[in-house]
Amino acid sequence: MTRMSGVTLATRSFNSDDQALFARLSGDYNPIHMDPLAARRTQAGALVVHGIHAVLWTLDKLVQSGAVTGRFASLKVQFTKFIYVDSTVHLKLLHRDDKSIRAELVVDGLTTTTLFLTLGRPNEPSWNDLPANATLIIATDAPVTFVRLDDIREFSGWMDVADPIEHVARQFPHIASTIGPHPTSAIALLSRLVGMICPGLHSLFAAFAIELVDCQRHQDRVEFRCTGTDERFRMVRMNVCGAGVSGSVQAFLRWPPIAQASLTDIAKVVAPTEFAGSTALIIGGSRGLGSLTAKVIAAGGGRLILTYATGRSDAAQLTEEIRGHVGRDVCRAIPYDARQSAADQLGLLNADVTHLYYFATGPIARQKEDLFVTSLFDEFTQVYVKGFYDCCEFVSARGSRKLTAYYPSSIFVENSPPGMTEYSMAKTAGEMLCENMNRANSGIHVLTSRLPRLLTDQTATVSPGKNADPFEVMLPIIRRVQKSGSNQLDLAGPGQLMRTVFDTS
């Protein structure tokens, strides 16, 4: 008997070419793996590696290293963290004896995936026939879209595995030679099942447990049926069988990207000349609160310059929506990176900006091992403190009137949640900067408020949470900021934090 603890067997990173290759092998083209813009509107916030790809690579390395020397009876896998594309993944062998093997994948000190193998001979299969209404699921590059768990509860069908078997075996030769090409291909197809079929487009793979079975039935297909759902966590459970494997799969049905209020609805409560005469520069205006703010100001007759860092298509779509409602000369979009010099990016800006809204942000919730990560704090500070000050200074110097700026802080400043230390600290520093900018009595007047947890792409978790409605929260703030930039009296006064009233009950 041999026991090991934390032995690193292999290290690698998965790049965009790896993503495309495994998508072809498995049939899993879910945008969270393939489309950077779509992925940033998920909880992940960026492209993530196919979990099954990482599992098959792990199994291949376990065989290649000699940790697995023969067929195993069962495999249990749990996905606990995202593996982001281009991150460095470490395969660690934690335990090995005559009966079992335990391994994990680690990124930046965090366990992302755990694997438990039971050694021994394959088992006898146990499987009931599919319902009469079960159908063959034809492979496409368009995921099925489920939003309600009710639509999944009776779902069942099967997938053919004949075509990719040789290709999968060539990509993972060591595990394919050990357990056979059919079971290897069946494991690969679990990625397609979750990412493309059930739950499909809005899915997150949670775990699976399979047994290798000696059965000649259905060697060229994998059958599945939904066996249960859990509304509390939007969990979906399925049984799978075929191509030499039998077991269960668990996945989350995540919420789809959040749709902000439409211009049509906004125009019902915002007067068409309410913000006339103003020109607003909205940093980070292609989506989220920036997009919502742009619509509100446009509905009120203001002019807009909105910026985007990576969401060019989102910005173009929003610009066309605004132009279609209120005129083609009221809105334009330009690229802007809050981590870079404002002068270098806004040097050709020829508009007299009266209001600046600063919604520059990246992924807020981060996977990390330590309580405090210096590099993460530096990243947040660069965007939320240095970037804000640099942008304000440049825009103010170019304008003919006093600039009114809005800095969105967060309720997290008051009750910093676990794992959000660096973000909360950076926002606290941003508030201090705003206060001192106002004390300096320069050509910039800054208004800030601590926003509650709002319903956005980053807060739409699979488990229920208390999220305020963005439009209800932002409309009075925008009116306050726009009023402050006019000749009317600003009731908040220089240096005073606007208090955002909200109810999340």
**Are 218 and 155 part of one and the same domain?**
yes
Q: Could you tell me the pLDDT band of residue 501, with boundaries at 50, 70 and 90?
A: very low
pLDDT beyond 60 at 57: yes
**Are 50 and 166 part of one and the same domain?**
yes
Kindly state whether residue 499 falls inside one of the protein's structural domains: no
SS3 32: helix
User: What is the per-residue pLDDT for 503?
Assistant: 35
Query: In this predicted model, which residue has the larger pLDDT, 255 or 60?
Result: 60
The proportion of the chain whose per-residue pLDDT surpasses 90, expressed as a percent, equals 70
pLDDT beyond 90 at 134: no
**Are 59 and 190 part of one and the same domain?**
yes
The rounded mean pLDDT for the chain is 89
pLDDT beyond 80 at 56: yes
User: What is the per-residue pLDDT for 467?
Assistant: 75
Residues 6 or more apart whose Cβ sits within 8 Å of residue 100: 116, 117, 118, 119
Kindly state whether residue 493 falls inside one of the protein's structural domains: no
**Where in the sequence is the domain holding 194, given as residue range(s)?**
7-253
* Of the candidates 456, 367, 379, the residue with the CA atom closest to the CA atom of residue 420: 367
Kindly state whether residue 233 falls inside one of the protein's structural domains: yes
Which of 202, 222, 253 is at the close of a domain?
253
Query: In this predicted model, which residue has the larger pLDDT, 327 or 46?
Result: 46
Q: Say which CATH number the domain at 180 has.
A: 3.10.129.10
Question: How confident is the model over 473-500, as a mean pLDDT?
Answer: 67
**Are 185 and 221 part of one and the same domain?**
yes
Q: Say which CATH number the domain at 386 has.
A: 3.40.50.720
Kindly state whether residue 503 falls inside one of the protein's structural domains: no
pLDDT tens, position by position, 33-54: 999 989 988 889 899 999 999 9
User: What is the per-residue pLDDT for 2?
Assistant: 44
Q: Could you tell me the pLDDT band of residue 367, with boundaries at 50, 70 and 90?
A: confident
Kindly state whether residue 2 falls inside one of the protein's structural domains: no
Task: Count the domains in the chain.
Answer: 2
User: What is the per-residue pLDDT for 445?
Assistant: 96
**Are 234 and 307 part of one and the same domain?**
no
pLDDT beyond 90 at 305: yes
**Are 59 and 172 part of one and the same domain?**
yes
**Are 247 and 299 part of one and the same domain?**
no
User: What is the per-residue pLDDT for 181?
Assistant: 93
Which range is least confidently modeled, 210-214, 252-256, 258-262, 380-384? 258-262
pLDDT tens, position by position, 377-414: 999 999 999 999 999 999 999 988 899 999 999 998 98
Kindly state whether residue 504 falls inside one of the protein's structural domains: no
Element (H, E) at 312: helix 312-326
DSSP one-letter code for 200: B
User: What is the per-residue pLDDT for 421?
Assistant: 94
User: What is the per-residue pLDDT for 163?
Assistant: 60
**Are 172 and 204 part of one and the same domain?**
yes
User: What is the per-residue pLDDT for 491?
Assistant: 36
**Are 305 and 208 part of one and the same domain?**
no
Kindly state whether residue 500 falls inside one of the protein's structural domains: no
**Are 279 and 214 part of one and the same domain?**
no
Enter the pTM of the model: 0.82
Q: In what order do the strands lie in the sheet with 110-119?
A: 7-13, 88-96, 100-107, 110-119, 72-79, 203-212, 245-253, 235-242, 221-230, 156-160, 135-136
Kindly state whether residue 495 falls inside one of the protein's structural domains: no
**What is the residue-wise DSSP string for 416-447?**
--TT-HHHHHHHHHHHHHHHHHHHTT-SEEEE
Which of 253, 271, 291 is at the close of a domain?
253
Query: In this predicted model, which residue has the larger pLDDT, 31 or 364?
Result: 31
**Are 308 and 228 part of one and the same domain?**
no
**Are 105 and 211 part of one and the same domain?**
yes
Which range is least confidently modeled, 102-111, 215-224, 265-274, 302-311? 215-224
pLDDT tens, position by position, 443-476: 899 999 999 988 666 555 555 556 788 999 999 9
Which of 186, 220, 253 is at the close of a domain?
253
Q: In what order do the strands lie in the sheet with 303-308?
A: 331-335, 303-308, 279-283, 355-358, 403-410, 444-451
Question: How confident is the model over 267-284, as a mean pLDDT?
Answer: 97
**What is the residue-wise DSSP string for 69-90?**
-S-EEEEEEEE-S--BTT-EEE
User: What is the per-residue pLDDT for 419?
Assistant: 86
Question: How confident is the model over 233-247, as a mean pLDDT?
Answer: 94
pLDDT tens, position by position, 412-450: 898 888 889 999 999 999 999 999 999 998 889 999 999
